[in-house]
Amino acid sequence: MASEHIVSAFDQELNELKNKVSEMGGLAESQLVNALEAMQRRDTDLASRTIESDARVDEMEHEIDAFVVQLLALRQPVASDLREIIVALKISSDLERIADYATNVAKRTMTLAQSPQVRPAHAIPRMGRLAISMIFDVLDSYSDRDTQKAIAVWRRDEELDEMYISLFRELLTYMMEDARSISSCTHLLFIAKNIERVGDHATNIAESIYYLVEGRPLLQSRPKGGDEEYDRVDAPPDR
């Protein structure tokens, strides 16, 4: 809504809330960028700095929580104002989870860096780039209230799911062929799963943005990348 409140302090507070969410989004995004960079370069230094700075994201989530509670209590918002505030609360919780996944990636990187590199590691950065682009675009759509862009992000999650499934199969194959790779491949599998989950939270944020702007939930069913993860995978036949 373009026009301003009669009580201008309320406008300032809503702006401040929006800025806090955007700032937290930027922080969560850079956590993921750094974690993936650390993984790719096997840079334990960067990984450990990423793990440490997760605390700042948690802190921002608490700040936003407290601010939301204060706004609800003091302003008794309704309609678009209420949605603005509720959505800020939901997005900040998604961002906190995204940053947690980044931290997990960084932690596994610390362990992975101790062992020789395994080949499927190369597919991870591709997944990572897609997840990062989803977060970047969804935060953009939050700033611009752009539901088209939000829906585009929401649809892109399918691709991420498919990449994860294909990586999952690839990693299984490696593990079956070379038992020595099991430890590293398991870490990679968890990293891939973390990135896949980041995509899910990006779609949650996209849904929140749609609700914020339209006042109703995004009800279409989202294209999913399949359930092959739950399939039974047998050892390849003896050659």
Partner 1 sequence: MENTTASPAMPAEETGAAPDFRVKMKTRNVNVHYAEKHALRDVSLDIGEREVTALIGPSGCGKSTFLRCLNRMNDTIDICRVTGVLELDGQDIYDAGVDVVQLRASIGMVFQKPNPFPKSIFDNVAYGPRVHGLFSNKSDLEEVVVQSLRKAGLFDEVKDRLGDPGTSLSGGQQQRLCIARAIAVGPEVILMDEPCSSLDPIATARIEELIDELRQNFTIVIVTHSMQQAARVSQKTAFFHLGDLIEQGETPQIFTNPRHEKTQGYITGRFG
Minimum separation from the CB atom of position 176 to partner 1 (A): 53
Minimum separation from the CB atom of position 134 to partner 1 (A): 27
Under the criterion CB under 8 A, does residue 83 sit at the interface with partner 1?
Answer: yes
Under the criterion CB under 8 A, does residue 82 sit at the interface with partner 1?
Answer: yes
Closest CB to partner 1 among 76 and 220? 76
Closest CB to partner 1 among 177 and 214? 214
Tell me which stretch binds partner 1 (CB under 8 A): 80-88, 93-101, 114-122, 140-148: 80-88
Closest CB to partner 1 among 5 and 149? 5
Closest CB to partner 1 among 6 and 235? 6
The CA distance from 223 to 115, in Å, is 37
Residues 90, 208 contacting (CB under 8 angstroms): yes
* In the block, residue with structure tokens 């994860």: 164
Residues 187, 108 contacting (CB under 8 angstroms): yes
User: Residue 234 phi/psi, 5° resolution?
Assistant: -90, 160
- Using CB under 8 A as the binding rule, the residues of this chain from 3 to 42 that contact partner 1 are 3-7, 10
Number of chain positions touching partner 1 (CB under 8 A): 17
Q: Which of 116, 148, 179, 216 binds partner 1 (CB under 8 A)?
A: 216
Residues 216, 79 contacting (CB under 8 angstroms): no
What length does the chain have? 239
* 8: CB partners within 8 A, 6+ apart: none
Tell me which stretch binds partner 1 (CB under 8 A): 61-69, 75-83, 89-97, 127-135: 75-83
Residues 118, 183 contacting (CB under 8 angstroms): no
Tokens describing residue 54:
């997760």
DSSP character for 6? S
What are the residues binding partner 1 (CB under 8 A)? 1, 3-7, 10, 76-83, 215-216
